[in-house]
Amino acid sequence: MAEKEGILVIAELSPAGAPDAVTLELLGLGARLAASSGKQLQAAAVGIDTASAAATLIASGAAAVFTVEGSAYAAYDPDLHVTALEKVVEEAGPSAVLVGNTTVGQDLVPRLAFALKAGLTTDAVSLEMKGGALASTKPVYGGNAMAVFVSRGKPALASVRPGAGDPAKPDASRTGETVKVDVEAPSPRLSFGGKVLEEGGDVRLEEARVIVSGGRGLGGAEGFEQLRELARLLGGAVGASRPPVDAGWWPSTQQVGITGKIVSPEVYVAVAISGSSQHLSGISDSRVIVAINKDPEAYIFKVSDYGVVGEWQQVLPGLSSRIREILGV
Amino acid sequence: MAELNILVCVKQVPDPEGPPSAFEVDSAARKVTPKGIPPVLSPFDENALEAAIRVKEAAGGSITMLSVGNNLSKAVMLKALASGADRLVTVEDPSCDQEGLDAFATASLLAAAVRKAGPFDLILTGRQAADTNAGQVGLGLAQLLSIPAVSVAGKVEVNGGTARVETVLPDGYEVVEASLPLLVTVSHEVGDLRYPSLMAIKKAKTLPMETFKPADLGMEPGSLVINEITELTAPNRERRCRLVEGESPEDAGAKLAALLKEDKII
Ligand SMILES: Cc1cc2nc3c(=O)[nH]c(=O)nc-3n(C[C@H](O)[C@H](O)[C@H](O)COP(=O)(O)OP(=O)(O)OC[C@H]3O[C@@H](n4cnc5c(N)ncnc54)[C@H](O)[C@@H]3O)c2cc1C
Ligand SMILES: Nc1ncnc2c1ncn2[C@@H]1O[C@H](COP(=O)(O)O)[C@@H](O)[C@H]1O
């Protein structure tokens, strides 16, 4: 058993059993929080076989890893995972629990918080320890305000937006203890029929260095072909605001914003997008934002670094052909 | 199986499609004051109501709408009822104002109201409310009621005592099945809420409506709060925009490319 109160990171494991990229970011963040508050960095892993995950978690800074193992944990099942993690939190007694704000994290962490009767802040973009308590900042009102939340009582839970911290650098010389937690898995209540994957864009939005996105003002699916051309020149991906997705002009996997993908490219080009707070919430970490819009009053210009006022039908050909000249393609 | 009892949890919020200037951030009072925008049903709750109406059309049953809040707009609730619900239950009190509640207090009030007004076979909520952007209350309510839950549905169907839900994934979807009672959080992929006819809006006034006070449910909302806002600020997202002009829009596009090259952006 750990002697110190901890910051507990719940690891998300790949099908092969390795901690994913978000988990390493959480360990990076968690190490900083632990150091600033004199707490121990802990991790939890639930899976069929957690031995190699535990080794990676320790190498990435966890002083103690709590594991729950069993064939029942082959795939994510909220009821089983919540029961397992509830037990882990009881044993570890952390003051803060961090989870990635991923598809699984979003499904898991509200259930876990309510099972523990603990406070939770979802989609936290930054974390801090204040007087020994976790303070989590998140957007509210669609990004029109930023709120800092602190919980009464312990532990405080936060699901953290991917990209909010620098990943921990694994160091195989680190040591830590592994604590096996025995849990009786409840019988499943949900039956999962398997995932059906849909075709997305050519480059994954989350990894794209350049994103060219289109909005309602594109007026139809044809406009997206022109965006694709520009994106191809720049080696980027094509995204969309919500209306083109709702209208079926572009795949829903490519929606950018608070209920779509949160992106942080080097360059984000917003074409015929007005700049709603819900859209901006998903792009505010972009290094450079470029806007093309026919309305000089469009809010998107206030949050952009470069802009052209004009009809995209006319601006885009000029932009694309000059880029082609510049790049010599 | 007896008639399907469906519950939809709906929250009233300031219209989230309002311009950023309509959301005045009062850092001292730690609250957001909407300026010149009307209250509406939180958009994903409209989708949840639409999903409920489709289930009712296919499988029969009745739909109860449940809302916790303060100063709920009659017009907003009647219009929603008129789109296809059968009954309204509200928990209203100054202590149920958005600022006074967190997810735990809200879900606790909803759970108590469910116990009083239920039982329900299928409970639908939005995937997240437009003000909190939290995505906690639905799954939390299921936890408090000890019923299974499925999150972020793009489609909901009920056949006999079983529900079939398609959940929305970042790169596709998954089919999840479960026996009732079940809670499902709903995403916009299910489709927009239909418009009610004028006739239906008139008729909605005659539908059964009940209002509880937190005390009727044996609850004191303030004492249930776990997560508190300690600071609230306006986001600093504004940047200085260099507007590129040209002799024509095509030329402006070309000049933009040249400038991006010059600044080593591309
Ligand atoms: C709870 C909730 C969640 C949401 N989540 C998201 C989300 O994740 N992502 C998202 O994007 N939205 C989201 N929305 C929707 C959001 O509020 C806006 O409605 C949406 O972002 C607007 O998209 P848009 O800018 O493309 O369209 P509009 O606001 O209609 O803007 C279209 C723009 O195109 C310009 N235009 C028109 N014609 C031309 C032309 N020929 N040339 C150049 N410019 C032209 C217009 O000037 C205008 O500025 C959400 C809403 C809610 C309530
Ligand atoms: N005050 C409320 N009254 C009724 N339903 C609510 C209330 N607050 C939240 N909900 C439901 O819970 C969902 C998620 O809310 P949240 O966790 O705040 O994002 C909403 O979409 C509603 O369906």
pLDDT in tens, A91-115: 999 999 999 999 999 999 999 999 9
Average pLDDT over residues A147-160: 96
Asked whether residue A168 is assigned to any structural domain, the reply reads yes
Q: Which helix (H) or strand (E) holds B41?
A: strand B39-41
Same domain? A90 vs A149: yes
Per-residue pLDDT tens digits for B150-186: 999 999 999 999 999 999 998 889 999 999 999 999 9
Ligand 2 is surrounded, with C-beta below 6 A, by B 9-11, 42, 44-45, 48, 66-69, 103, 106, 110, 125-126, 128-129, 132, 134-138
Q: Does any CB of chain A come closer than 8 Å to the CB of residue B15?
A: no
Q: How far is CA B63 from the centre of its chain?
A: 16
When pLDDT is cut at 50, 70 and 90, the band that residue A2 belongs to is: very low
Query: pLDDT over 90 for what percent of chain B?
Result: 94
Same domain? A238 vs A95: no
b/e sequence B204-221, b meaning 16+ C-beta within 10 Å: beeeebeebebeebebeb
The residue whose two tokens read 């079926």 is: A248
Same domain? A25 vs A156: yes
Ligand 1: residue whose CA is nearest its atom 29:
A274
Per-residue pLDDT tens digits for B85-138: 999 999 999 999 988 999 999 999 999 999 999 999 999 999 999 999 999 999
The answer to whether the Cβ–Cβ distance between B143 and A115 falls below 8 Å is: yes
Cβ(B33)–Cβ(B110) under 8 Å?
no
pLDDT for the residue A206:
86
Q: Where are the beta strands (DSSP E) in A107-224?
A: 119-124, 126-130, 133-140, 145-151, 156-160, 177-180, 190-197, 210-214
Same domain? A149 vs A270: no
> How far apart (Å, rounded) are the C-alpha atoms in residues B47 and B62?
17
Nearest CA in chain B to A146: B233
pLDDT for the residue A177:
97
Which range of residues forms the domain containing residue A117? Answer: 7-180
Other beta carbons less than 10 A from residue B36's beta carbon: 10
Average pLDDT over residues B200-217: 96
Neighboring chain B residues of A314 at a CB cutoff of 8 Å: 248-250, 253
Report which of A93, A200, A289 is spatially closest to residue B265, judged by C-alpha positions. A289
Per-residue pLDDT tens digits for B47-94: 999 999 999 999 999 999 999 999 999 999 999 999 999 999 999 999
Same domain? A172 vs A223: no
Asked whether residue A280 is assigned to any structural domain, the reply reads yes
Would you say residue A301 has pLDDT above 60? Answer: yes
Would you say residue B143 has pLDDT above 80? Answer: yes
Neighboring chain A residues of B24 at a CB cutoff of 8 Å: none
Same domain? A157 vs A18: yes
Asked whether residue A266 is assigned to any structural domain, the reply reads yes
Beta-bridged to residue A135, according to DSSP, are A128, A150
The whole-chain average pLDDT of chain A stands at: 94
Ligand 1 atom with the shortest distance to the CA of A259: 8
Out of A180, A213, A232, a domain closes at A180
When pLDDT is cut at 50, 70 and 90, the band that residue A1 belongs to is: very low
Would you say residue A3 has pLDDT above 70? Answer: no
CA angle A146–B221–B26, rounded 5-degree value: 30
Average pLDDT over residues A241-256: 94
Give the minimum alpha-carbon distance from B206 to chain A in angstroms, rounded to a whole number.
34
Orientation of helix B103-117 relative to helix B137-145, angle to 10°: 50
Would you say residue A9 has pLDDT above 60? Answer: yes
Report CA(A216)–ligand 1 centroid distance (Å). Answer: 6
HSE-CB of B213 using CA atoms within 13 angstroms: 4
For chain B, what is the radius of gyration of the CA atoms? Answer: 22
Nearest CA in chain B to A114: B140
Asked whether residue A187 is assigned to any structural domain, the reply reads no
> How far apart (Å, rounded) are the C-alpha atoms in residues B84 and B195?
9
Q: Does any CB of chain A come closer than 8 Å to the CB of residue B99?
A: no
CATH number at residue A307: 3.40.50.1220
Same domain? A161 vs A258: no
Closest ligand relative to B89 C-alpha: 2
pLDDT for the residue A82:
98
Asked whether residue A42 is assigned to any structural domain, the reply reads yes
The answer to whether the Cβ–Cβ distance between B149 and A252 falls below 8 Å is: no
Give the minimum alpha-carbon distance from A56 to chain B in angstroms, rounded to a whole number.
27
Give the minimum alpha-carbon distance from A177 to chain B in angstroms, rounded to a whole number.
32
Probe target for ligand 1 pocket from A261, A279, A297, A299, with the most ligand atoms within 8 Å of CB? A279
The whole-chain average pLDDT of chain B stands at: 96
Asked whether residue A195 is assigned to any structural domain, the reply reads no
Would you say residue A157 has pLDDT above 70? Answer: yes
Nearest CA in chain A to B17: A276
Asked whether residue A1 is assigned to any structural domain, the reply reads no
Cβ(A155)–Cβ(A97) under 8 Å?
yes
Same domain? A66 vs A114: yes
Give the minimum alpha-carbon distance from A186 to chain B in angstroms, rounded to a whole number.
12
Orientation of helix A312-327 relative to helix A221-234, angle to 10°: 20
Asked whether residue A105 is assigned to any structural domain, the reply reads yes
Torsion of CA B28, B30, B31, B32, to 10 degrees: 70
Same domain? A176 vs A209: no
Same domain? A171 vs A250: no
The residue whose two tokens read 């470029």 is: A290
> How far apart (Å, rounded) are the C-alpha atoms in residues A140 and B228?
13
The total domain count for chain A is: 2
> How far apart (Å, rounded) are the C-alpha atoms in residues B18 and B43?
13
**Chain B interface mutation, best of A278, A285, A312, A319, highest count of B Cβ atoms under 10 Å:** A319
Q: From edge to edge, which strands make up the β-sheet containing A177-180?
A: A119-124, A156-160, A96-100, A6-10, A40-47, A64-69, A177-180
When pLDDT is cut at 50, 70 and 90, the band that residue B1 belongs to is: low
Nearest CA in chain A to B144: A114
Same domain? A32 vs A176: yes
* A166 Cβ contact partners less than 8 Å away, ≥ 6 residues apart: A25, A28
Per-residue pLDDT tens digits for A260-277: 999 999 999 999 999 999
* B196 Cβ contact partners less than 8 Å away, ≥ 6 residues apart: B79, B82, B83, B84, B204
Same domain? A114 vs A225: no
Domains of chain B, CATH where assigned: 5-224 (3.40.50.620), 239-266 (no CATH)
Out of A180, A213, A242, a domain closes at A180
CATH number at residue A22: 3.40.50.620
When pLDDT is cut at 50, 70 and 90, the band that residue A26 belongs to is: very high
Average pLDDT over residues B241-263: 97
> How far apart (Å, rounded) are the C-alpha atoms in residues A30 and A43?
10
